[in-house]
Amino acid sequence: MPRTVLISGASRGIGRAIAERLLADGHRLSLGLRDPGVLSGSALDPERIGVDEHGQPRLLLHPYNAEDPAAAEAWVAATVSQFGAIDSVVHSAGVFSRVPLLFEPGQEQEIQQLWDVNVMGPWWLTRAAWPHLAAHGSGRVIVLVSMSGKRSKGRLAGYTASKFALMGLCQTMRNEGWEQGIRVSAICPSWVNTDMAAAVNAMPKEAMSQPGDIASLTAQLLELPNSCVPFELAVSCNLEA
């Protein structure tokens, strides 16, 4: 059964791979983007997608800034206006930072952005979509967390702290929505072959997890019944201690 899915961070990387896969699977998509024009002429251009068998659009692009709470409300409202409902949210937008524990003066703003985008962004958007997820009875929230939300292996204090907080938020979302049929899944990859990992030289890019594989996992999560949805998927391309 086709779902109506909000996807943040779909302009590139994992989010874009998820959007392309879910569109191919027949779902209706609403993509929140800082600049919707970035997808013009791409496989995710509404002009190229057209309409479904009922003459209804299958794809909506809408301006969205994860740091702006009002943007979440506006995006949800526009999606409901276009599609009539929302039953799934995929949180893929995020920022990376190498801010260490002993950060330099002036890096406070970078730490705040990590919190605003990686934690409050998913929080605001989930809150805005919640009534629609609950009304469906089998709502889905899928969050790209990262293995950095499960353990700390290096010195990325700011990024790791934001991802640990996001994992805690996911657990609370799961508790809050269980009786309403909302199922939450936290996908926790290690290195994925995206722009974020471009500077990583510890392993070849082909040995990393690939965006399309994360997209396949996301597609499978949307197909599972309420009784069989895993909360956490740890996806490691390297051996974890």
Tens digit of each residue's pLDDT (9 = 90 or more) over 134-178: 999 999 999 999 999 999 989 999 999 999 999 999 999 999 999
Domain 4-235 has CATH 3.40.50.720: yes
Q: How far is CA 98 from CA 103, 112, 199, in A?
A: 9, 13, 12
Q: What is the pTM of this model?
A: 0.96
Tens-place pLDDT, residues 31-88 = 999 999 999 999 999 989 888 877 888 999 999 999 999 999 999 999 999 999 999 9
* Structure confidence at residue 240 as a pLDDT band (50, 70, 90): confident
Please tell me which residue in 124, 130, 159, 191 is annotated as part of the active site: 159
CA pseudo-torsion sign 7, 12, 13, 18? positive
What is the structure's pLDDT at 194? 87
Is 64 annotated as catalytic? no
Mean pLDDT of 233-238: 94
Q: What contacts 115, CB < 8 A, 6 or more positions away?
A: 162, 165
Alpha helices in the chain (DSSP H): 13-24, 46-49, 69-83, 108-115, 121-136, 157-177, 211-223
